[in-house]
Amino acid sequence: MTATDPALTALAQGWCALSLLHGRIEAHIERALQTRHGLSVREYSLLDVLSRQHDGDGGHLQMKQVADAVVLSQSATTRLVTRLEDRGLLSRYLCPTDRRGIYTNVSDAGLKLLEEARPTNDVALREALDEAARSPELAPLVRVVESASLPAPA
């Protein structure tokens, strides 16, 4: 393949379209969450991921797992956790079986904020997808996103 190979050009165009869709969705959700709840998309994502932890086996996430789930580096995730902890939305504690491990839980205030912000996130996501679906280059990607969220046939 050469640099002018049509397959590479199509691949690059597809990547650009995907990046554009992601950027538009994230910016739309960011504005809505910031305006109504004082949360960034990353803060919302972190609260959401941590709220899904449970007390069963493997139910609490280590910082690397949290970082992977919110698509940030471990150091950026730690800074984000610290900011939310300073706001009273999270708390950290030592793992009872491994004193080197630190776990993070969403506080009652964090759960309340997340509950209030979830409809805003969902509506903003729907709005962003609907707007993107009107663009010929983004519509196929929107359909893929929407089909991925449908339940699998029984």
pLDDT tens across 1-41, in order?
A: 555 778 778 888 989 999 999 999 999 999 999 999 999 99
| pTM of the predicted model as reported, rounded to 2 decimal places | 0.86
Please give the helix or strand (H or E) that residue 10 lies within, else none: helix 6-37
Sign, CA torsion 39/40/43/47? positive
Residues contacting 48, CB < 8 A, separation 6+: 114, 118
What kind of architecture, by CATH, is found in domain 13-140? Answer: Orthogonal Bundle (1.10)
Instruction: Give the C-alpha separation, 124 to 26, whole Å.
Output: 9
